């Protein structure tokens, strides 16, 4: 879920429906259940921090029997690489995602989706539209210029 939220954020998505087949996790992220496991708490904290960046988020539980793709992905760790379906990318991570700091290079021109954030971080300039300016301020705290 954390990686999916980060991906959606990097694509500039502001409204998202998150569907998951693990009912307890969905209930925890909604705030319906308490997170008791310490290691899960770290992922929960990371996910809830990322969720704040979005304008609109809904979490839906989908039974595994109705989510064939997720069911297949859940078995990937016990299968051989040649059995992995086309289009599924496997990545070895050195650290758990909740401990990672992600860095993305931005060209000198600062173009693309990051352009307003780069401009704000380097010059303090905000969009004229007050709603857009507020969104930019809310999103920019996750970024640093090096």
For the chain, which residues make up each domain, given as ranges? Answer: 2-102, 105-146
What's the mean per-residue pLDDT of the chain?
A: 76
pLDDT in tens, 79-103: 555 555 666 566 666 776 666 655 5
CATH class of 2-102: alpha beta
Has this prediction a pTM greater than 0.85? no
- Bigger pLDDT: 104 vs 55: 55
Residue 124 has pLDDT above 70, yes or no: yes
Segment 7-14 mean pLDDT: 85
Residue 77 has pLDDT above 70, yes or no: no
Segment 26-40 mean pLDDT: 88
Segment 108-118 mean pLDDT: 61
**Rounded CA Rg of the chain:** 18
Return the SS3 of 108: coil
Q: Answer left, alpha or beta for residue 124, where phi above 0 means left and psi between -120 and 50 means alpha.
A: left
Among 110, 103, 97, residue whose Cα is nearest residue 144: 103
In the prediction, which pLDDT does 120 show? 79
Q: From CA 142, how far away is CA 56, in angstroms rounded?
A: 18
């Amino acid at each position: 879920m954390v990686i999916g939220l980060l991906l959606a954020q990097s694509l500039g998505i502001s409204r998202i429906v998150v569907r998951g087949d693990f009912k307890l996790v969905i209930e925890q992220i909604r705030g319906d259940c308490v997170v008791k496991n310490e290691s899960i708490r770290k992922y929960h904290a990371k996910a809830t921090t990322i969720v704040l960046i979005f304008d609109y988020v809904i979490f839906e539980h989908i039974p595994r029997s109705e989510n064939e793709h997720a069911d297949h992905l859940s078995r990937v760790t016990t299968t051989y690489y040649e059995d992995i379906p086309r289009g599924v990318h496997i990545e070895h991570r050195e650290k758990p995602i909740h401990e990672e700091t992600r860095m993305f290079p931005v060209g000198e021109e600062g173009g693309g989706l990051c352009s307003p954030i780069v401009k704000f971080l380097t010059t303090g300039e905000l969009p004229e539209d007050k709603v857009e300016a507020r969104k930019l301020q809310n999103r920019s705290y996750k970024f640093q210029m090096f």
